[in-house]
Structure 1
Amino acid sequence: METWLPHPHSRPKLLVVDDQPINVRVLHELFREDFDVFMATSGEQAITVCQAQQPDLILLDVVMEGMDGHEVCRRLKADPATQDIPIIFITAQQQESEELLGLELGAVDFISKPINPVIVKARVRTHLTLKLQSDLLRTMALMDGLTGVANRRKFDEDISADWRVCLREQKPLSLILADVDFFKRYNDRYGHQAGDGCLRAVAQALAETVRRPYDLVARYGGEEFACVLPNTDLSGAVEIATRMQAGVRALDIEHSASDVDRVVTISLGVATLTPSADLEFQALIEAADKQLYEAKSAGRGRVCSSSMAPS
Structure 2
Amino acid sequence: MSSAPLERQQKILIVDDELLNRKLLADILREDYRVILAKNGEQAVDKVNRHQPDLILLDIIMPGENGYQVLVALKSNPQTQDIPVVFISALDTDRDEEKGLVLGATDYISKPFRKSLVKARIDNHMRMVSQRKLLEELANLDGLTNVDNRRCLEQNLDEEWRRSQRNQQPLSLAMLDVDHFKQFNDHYGHGGGDKVLRQVARTMRSQIKRPGDKVARYGGEEFVILLPETTQQDAEYIMENMRKAIIDLKIPHGYSETGPYLSVSIGGATILPSEREGPVTLLNKADASLYRAKHQGRNRVIWDQ
Q: Fold-level match, TM-score > 0.5?
A: yes
Aligned residues between the structures: 300
Q: Which among 103, 118, 125 is matched to residue 120 of structure 1?
A: 118
Output one character per residue of 1:4-53: Cα deviation in whole Å (capped at 9) or x when no partner. Answer: xxx9x711111122233443333223222211222223323322322332
8 Å contact kept, 1:241–1:303: yes
Structure 2: 5+ residue stretches without partners: none
Match of 2:62 in 1: 64
2:95 to 94, 97, 100: 97
CA distance in 2, matches of 1:229, 1:273: 11
User: Partner residue of 1:4?
Assistant: none
Q: 1:303 to 1:173 in 2, by over 3 A?
A: same
With 148-157 and 66-75 compared, the bigger mean Cα shift is at: 66-75
Matched, 1:152 2:150: yes
Tell me, in whole angstroms, the C-alpha distance in 2 between the residues paired with 1:181 and 1:52. Answer: 43
Structure 1 residue 213 displacement after superposition: 2.0
How far the C-alpha of 1:147 sits from its partner, in A, is 0.8
Q: Does 1:74 align with 2:72?
A: yes
Q: How does 1:177-216 map to 2 (within 5 A)?
A: 177-216=175-214
* TM value normalised by structure 1: 0.91
One-letter amino acid of the counterpart of residue 290, structure 2: L
Separation (CA, whole Å) in 2 of partners of 1:282 and 1:48: 34
Q: What's the secondary structure of 1:267's corresponding residue?
A: strand
- Residue in 2 that maps onto 1:304: 302
| Separation (CA, whole Å) in 1 of partners of 2:184 and 2:85 | 51
* RMSD, matched Cα: 1.8
DSSP 3-state at the match of 2:153: helix
CA distance in 1, matches of 2:289, 2:19: 56
Task: Give the 3 Å change call, closer, same or farther, for CA 117–148 of structure 1 in structure 2.
Answer: same
Cα offset, 1:151, TM superposition: 0.7
The offset of 1:182, in angstroms, is: 0.9
Give the Cα separation in 1 of the matches to 2:272 and 2:20: 46
**Which has the larger displacement, 47-56 or 115-124?**
47-56
Distance 1:12 1:65 in 2: 28
Mean CA deviation greater in 154-163 or 17-26:
17-26
AA aligned to 2:165 is L
Per the alignment, residue 238 of structure 2 pairs with 240
Larger RCO (alpha carbons 8 Å, 6+ apart)? 1
- In the alignment, residue 224 of structure 2 is paired with which amino acid? A
C-alpha distance in 1 between matches for 2:9 and 2:109 = 24
Deviation larger for 64-73 or 170-179: 64-73
From the superposition, tell whether residues 288 and 92 of structure 1 become closer, same or farther in structure 2 (CA, over 3 Å). same
The 2-side partners of 1:43 and 1:233 are apart by: 40
**Following TM superposition, by how much is the alpha carbon of 1:110 offset from its aligned partner in structure 2, in angstroms?**
0.4
Name the SS of the counterpart of 1:191 in structure 2: helix
Task: Give distance in 1, aligned partners of 2:169 and 2:38.
Answer: 29
The match for 1:176 among 171, 174, 178 is: 174
Question: TM-score, normalization: structure 2?
Answer: 0.92
Supply the distance in 2 between the matched residues of 1:267 and 1:130 (Cα, whole angstroms): 43
Contact 1:57 1:128 in 2 (8 A): yes
Instruction: Specify the code of the residue in structure 1 equivalent to 2:275.
Output: A
Alignment of 1:224-239 (within 5 A): 224-239=222-237
Structure 1 stretches of 4+ with a deviation exceeding 6 A read none
Tell me the residue number matched to 1:40.
Answer: 38
